[in-house]
């Protein structure tokens, strides 16, 4: 995420399927740090 935002500022961000809570927390921090206004997020999938 840092590489993209330091090179250019995208109009929107699409986040693919996220598999665990730690990754979700890192993504959330990045979205907040870079003040992302438009984000599309796929649902989290959990195994049985």
Domain assignment of residue 29, yes or no: yes
Q: Give the total number of structural domains in the chain.
A: 1
pTM: 0.73
Q: Rank 1-5, 6-10, 37-41 by mean pLDDT and report only the highest.
A: 37-41
Residues 2, 31, 25, 13: what is their CA dihedral angle, to the nearest 10 degrees? -80
Query: Given a cut of 80, is residue 43 above it in pLDDT?
Result: no
| pLDDT band of 44, cuts 50, 70, 90 | low
pLDDT 10s digits, 7-39: 988 899 999 888 888 999 999 999 999 999 999
The enclosing H or E element of 25 equals: helix 21-33
Structural domain boundaries, residue 34: 2-41
Give mean pLDDT, residues 35-47: 82
Domain assignment of residue 46, yes or no: no
Residue in 41, 12, 38 with CA at minimum distance from that of residue 27: 41
């Amino acid at each position: 995420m840092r590489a993209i935002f330091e090179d250019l500022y995208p109009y929107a961000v699409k986040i693919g399927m996220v598999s665990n809570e730690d990754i979700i927390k890192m993504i959330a921090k990045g979205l907040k740090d870079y003040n992302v206004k438009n984000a599309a997020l796929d649902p989290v999938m959990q195994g049985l």
